Amino acid sequence: MTTDSVPAAPAGVPVLDVDPFSNALLADPYPYHERLRAAGPVVWMPKYGIYVTGRHEPVRQVLNDHESYISSAGVGLANFSKEPPFRPKSLILEADPPNHTRARTILSRILSPRTVAQIRESFAQEADHLLDGVLEAARRGEIVDGVPRIAEAYPLKVFPDAVGLGSDGRENLLLYGDMIFNAFGPRNELLIRSAEKVQPVTAWIMAHCQRAMLRPGGFGDQIYQAADAGEISQDEAPMLVRSFLSAGVDTTVNGIGNALWCLATNPEAYARLHADPSLARQAFEESLRYESAVQTFFRTTSREVELTGIPMPAGSKVLTVLAAANRDERQWPDPDRFDIGRRPTGHMAFGSGIHGCVGQVVARLEGELILAGIAKRFARIELAGEPTRRLNNTLRALASLPLRLIPA
């Protein structure tokens, strides 16, 4: 989008003249989120010619009204009604009913509560195996990098296993996910660099979404079984496997990494968790609210609509700032405090409505198992160095998290 093509600010709409995709704001978004919420329920951002909301209630309204605020025009800054998508559109993320309903029905069936109950034992065994190795390293006095050693290693093991993916090359999923989530923002340096990194592995991604590369009976094979039954086409099946892998890896990796950071920087919260590991699920939910792994998503108005009394023309891009909504003082008491005693029901870290993250049931299971396993093994968890952020246009991510883990 060029400066000349950006429309003028609509009359009566507060203006917030910032770039939410700048490195400075991505590194420290919370002061900007405060300004956004204070400016109004909906603001105009002239940098990109978009409407933006960061308060909990209007964010919830947008995400839950899939008829007025559509996803098929793209959930990023680009408007697919005016320009072609950079890759074939996701059947789940960038689709509206009835197409979305077909794909969502299949994935919801695969990830049913019964399925999650069935995989819990194997996921717990893998968490124990991973964390026993971390415990041995801690007993030797080693500093553990919580990102590659825990936050990446665990989801890259259990979820691709469940999908039926082979063990070689799984690190490519991280490169691919980084590019996809960068692509929801502008064509800035972050997107350019991540696209350069992912080019060599794109063929690997698509090849490993083919039926011949997937273990019979796994989640991926079940998608192909749905294609056999005529619920989707055979050509759509590998695209749905691709979306499934993205939904089940990136949010979980960053959710666990952020949770480890929250606990390492809030010793009183970790002491409470260590004393009662049954709080692990609640602690993970609070970390999702407090340090949302997915910070933003876009929608596009399908018609002229009003949001909190502000009219928006058809075809308008609306940026929902999930992370700002998750710290809205109108919704949460003392929202800038990390409190694992809080029940943050209604947080927006996984979105809301029919497009809520399809992999969230598995992400919650993984987060709970890892945090409970850590709480049982370690008396304290402390930062052992300065964490390094991995900037992304959409994700709140860490590249490195040096931890000193004190065995119980």
What is the C-alpha separation between 357 and 248, in angstroms, rounded?
A: 9
Report H helices in 146-279: 146, 153-163, 172-182, 189-198, 202-207, 219-228, 236-264, 267-275
What confidence score (pLDDT) does residue 63 get?
98
Mean per-residue pLDDT for 243-261? Answer: 91
Residue with tokens 């007025």: 68
Helix (H, G, I), strand (E, B), or coil: what is residue 402?
strand
Percentage of residues of the chain with pLDDT beyond 70: 99
Report whether pLDDT(4) > 90.
no
Structure tokens at 135: 């415990």
Structure tokens at 87: 């890759």
Mean per-residue pLDDT for 272-282? Answer: 98
Return the sign of the alpha-carbon dihedral for residues 15, 20, 23, 27.
positive
Report whether pLDDT(37) > 90.
yes
Structure tokens at 357: 């993250």
Report whether pLDDT(2) > 80.
no
Mean per-residue pLDDT for 318-333? Answer: 98
What confidence score (pLDDT) does residue 180 get?
93
Q: 3-407, what's its fold? A: Cytochrome p450 (1.10.630)
Q: Mean pLDDT in the chain?
A: 94
Contacts of 189 (CB under 8 A, 6+ apart): none
Mean per-residue pLDDT for 353-365? Answer: 91
Work out the pLDDT band at 248, boundaries 50, 70, 90: confident
Q: Give how far Cα 36 sits from Cα of 33, 53, 117, 244, 352, Å.
A: 5, 7, 41, 33, 20
Return the sign of the alpha-carbon dihedral for residues 148, 154, 157, 162.
negative
C-alpha angle 351-177-293 in degrees, rounded to nearest 5: 40
What confidence score (pLDDT) does residue 6 get?
65
Mean per-residue pLDDT for 218-232? Answer: 96
- Whether residue 387 is preceded by a cis peptide bond, meaning omega within 30 degrees of 0, is no
What is the C-alpha separation between 91 and 103, in angstroms, rounded?
A: 6
Helix (H, G, I), strand (E, B), or coil: what is residue 373?
helix
Mean per-residue pLDDT for 201-209? Answer: 91
Quote the crossing angle between the two packed helices 236-264 and 219-228, to the nearest 10°: 150
What is the C-alpha separation between 134 and 127, in angstroms, rounded?
A: 11
Mean per-residue pLDDT for 128-133? Answer: 98
Work out the pLDDT band at 289, boundaries 50, 70, 90: very high
Least confident of 49-58, 107-116, 299-308: 107-116
Least confident of 20-34, 88-102, 131-145: 88-102
Top-ranked range on mean pLDDT: pick from 64-78, 83-97, 100-114, 347-361: 64-78
Strand bridging mode 317-321 / 50-53: parallel
Top-ranked range on mean pLDDT: pick from 4-8, 242-246, 360-364, 377-381: 377-381
Mean per-residue pLDDT for 388-394? Answer: 98
- The DSSP 8-state label assigned to residue 404 in this structure reads E
Structure tokens at 212: 């011949």
Helix (H, G, I), strand (E, B), or coil: what is residue 59?
helix
